[in-house]
């Protein structure tokens, strides 16, 4: 099976995205999701939000959604960047292979 730089660098970019998400995206995603959950619970139940089960579930679900959105953003962005760099590398190497084959 022929592999090219674009696929390899896309996977490397996805791995870098996961690592950077774990370092820089996990806590802010949880924090921003929790703030959104508090705002939603405040709209439904009034402010200050009581510690009832439903308001806690809303905050917890929004924290999970915030973490998932943050992770998707990191992994997708770095995968696209890796794929673009790999596509450029494929184009450059294909052009070099054409030049080498025409000079023989």
Q: How far is CA 89 from CA 10, 23, 60, 79, 84, in A?
A: 12, 29, 44, 15, 9
Report the pLDDT value the prediction gives residue 1, as an integer from 0 to 100: 41
Report the pLDDT value the prediction gives residue 84, as an integer from 0 to 100: 94
pLDDT in tens for each of the 104 residues of the chain? 456 888 899 999 999 999 999 999 999 999 999 999 999 999 999 888 888 999 999 999 999 999 999 999 999 999 999 999 999 988 888 776 666 666 66
DSSP codes of every residue in 23-73: IIIHHHHHHHHHHHHHHHHHHHH-SSPP--HHHHHHHHHHHHHHHHHHHHH
Would you list the domain boundaries of the chain? 5-103
């Amino acid at each position: 099976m022929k592999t090219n730089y674009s696929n390899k660098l896309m996977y490397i970019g996805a791995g870098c995205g996961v690592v950077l998400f774990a370092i820089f995206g996990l806590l802010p995603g949880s924090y921003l999701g929790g703030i959104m959950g508090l705002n939603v619970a405040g709209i439904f139940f009034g402010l200050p939000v009581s510690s009832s089960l439903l308001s806690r579930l809303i905050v917890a679900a929004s924290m999970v959604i915030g973490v998932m959105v943050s992770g998707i953003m990191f992994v997708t962005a770095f995968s696209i960047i890796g794929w673009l760099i790999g596509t450029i590398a494929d184009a450059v190497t294909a052009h070099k292979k054409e030049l080498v084959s025409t000079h023989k």
